[in-house]
Chain A
Amino acid sequence: DVKVTQSSRYLVKRTGEKVFLECVQDMDHENMFWYRQDPGLGLRLIYFSYDVKMKEKGDIPEGYSVSREKKERFSLILESASTNQTSMYLCASSKQGVEQYFGPGTRLTVT
């Protein structure tokens, strides 16, 4: 079974803090994705990576960066958290063009 894990289910941070969200997959997938989900806005793609050290901006990359030093791990970084980054963050992985698998999500609150 494919397993995608995320480092935290719930996270509370203060405005201005640097925040790291970690995602690990165990199925040797090339592609990894970070989405955020907000009420009424659906899932929006922040960044994706199609190989180690490779990354591409998604639809809403502003205020975020990513890191993929190993194939199994994809990190989302909020350089200076702001209240408008309070959201549900979902990580996913896939082989190219086939099924995408999601982690359990991280509910981030920035106060």
Chain B
Amino acid sequence: GIQVEQSPPDLILQEGANSTLRCNFSDSVNNLQWFHQNPWGQLINLFYIPSGTKQNGRLSATTVATERYSLLYISSSQTTDSGVYFCAVFSGTYKYIFGTGTRLKVLA
């Protein structure tokens, strides 16, 4: 089955810094999502991005489907950005395959 790898596994930033999170996948996918899991455990949808680039405020994402990776950019990070970031891919069956996540901590 499809493998999804995220890097880095852990990231510590000072408030105001920028960061790039990466998601690699091993085969062609029909779509890709980025989520932020907040400290209470809920997964919040950030981007639905099977290809191309999208922006939402300080966050943006790019998926290069032909090269099997996606990037999530966080600019001017804030303490509220802390949490775990997951990417998930949908391969054409009913299942979504999740990466193991990047744990981000933003220090004040």
Contact = CB atoms under 8 A, between A and B. Distances in A.
Interface of A: 31, 33, 37, 42-43, 45, 48, 50, 56, 58, 88, 90, 92, 96-105, 107
B30 A97 contact: yes
Q: Could you tell me the dominant secondary structure of chain B's interface residues? A: strand
Interface residues of B, number: 22
Q: Could you tell me the dominant secondary structure of chain A's interface residues? A: strand
A98 B98 contact: no
19 contacts: A33-B96, A42-B100, A45-B95, A48-B95, A50-B94, A56-B94, A58-B95, A90-B43, A96-B94, A97-B92, A99-B31, A99-B33, A99-B45, A100-B88, A102-B43, A102-B45, A103-B42, A104-B40, A104-B42
Contacts of A99: 31, 33, 45, 48
